[in-house]
Amino acid sequence: MSELAYIHPDAKIGNGVVVEPFASIYGDVEIGEGTWIGPNVVIMNGARIGKNCKIFPGAVISADSQDLKYKGEYTTTHIGDNTTIRECVTIHKGTTDRNKTVIGNNCLLMAYVHVAHDCLIGNNVIIANSTQLAGHITIDDWVIIEGMVGTQQFVHIGEHAFIAGGSLVRKNVPPYVKAAREPLSYVGVNSVGLRRRGFSDQQIMNVEDIYRVVVCSK
């Protein structure tokens, strides 16, 4: 631990955690073993951070919600194991809707991503630079969101979906689907992503058949 970091004596810090200079860790915080906290990171009350995470300079974790209905009620922010939070990411704690904001295991949030209150993000999710998530969003496992995407409140993005960069997501995105264009459209099955994750050609063909029935026949 750097002597130049501020760590509240009530914070629960696991074995092997590294806290770099000028980081600030509040009292109601738990950090799992092996996690690295970079310089100038601020981890505020209610943060529950897993093992072997990396949090890069300038990130702010578990700040109060910007929702004007938030009245200071006790809520939390949960980050799973092996997740990387890059520079200047902001993640806000929950409100009375879900009482928590959650980032799963093995996720990557690239620089300048914002995750608002009450978002629930699954495992193995990648969110690229400058993407902004409004409150109450649900993102299932293995989703990839490219850079500079804006996502509206209460949207649900299904597992293995892919969102193209610069998209404005104002509606739900089904599992396994690619979404792009303005206004947002479904533009086929995320076959490349599915193949990379071990889906067989037959499984992908089955998903494509379902896609044609559910989406293209409307």
Sorted by where each starts, the structural domains of the chain and their CATH numbers stand as 6-189 (2.160.10.10)
The secondary structure of residue 173, as a DSSP letter, is B
Is the pLDDT at 187 greater than 70? The verdict is yes
Average pLDDT, the chain: 96
Is the pLDDT at 210 greater than 70? The verdict is yes
Q: What value does the CA radius of gyration of the chain take, rounded to a whole number of Å?
A: 18
Confidence of residue 3 (pLDDT cuts 50, 70, 90): confident
Average pLDDT over residues 19-38: 98
Query: What are the pLDDT digits (tens) for 78-104?
Result: 999 999 999 999 999 999 999 999 999
Catalytic residue among 92, 135, 140, 160: 135
**Catalytic residue flag (residue 117):** yes
* Residues above pLDDT 70, as percent of the chain: 99
Is the pLDDT at 218 greater than 90? The verdict is no
Distance CA 128, CA 144 (A): 8
Catalytic residue among 92, 114, 117, 136: 117
- The dihedral through the CA atoms of 175, 217, 179, 189 has a sign that is positive
Distance CA 105, CA 99 (A): 19
CA distances (Å), origin 26, targets 23, 109, 138, 195: 10, 22, 27, 43
Q: What per-residue confidence (pLDDT) applies to 214? A: 86
* Nearest C-alpha neighbor of 171 from the set 156, 150, 181: 156
Q: What per-residue confidence (pLDDT) applies to 216? A: 81
Catalytic residue among 80, 118, 136, 160: 118
**Catalytic residue flag (residue 97):** no
Q: What per-residue confidence (pLDDT) applies to 2? A: 76
**pTM score, two decimals?**
0.96
Query: What are the pLDDT digits (tens) for 99-146?
Result: 999 999 999 999 999 999 999 999 999 999 999 999 999 999 999 999
* Residues above pLDDT 90, as percent of the chain: 96
Average pLDDT over residues 13-22: 98
**Catalytic residue flag (residue 135):** yes
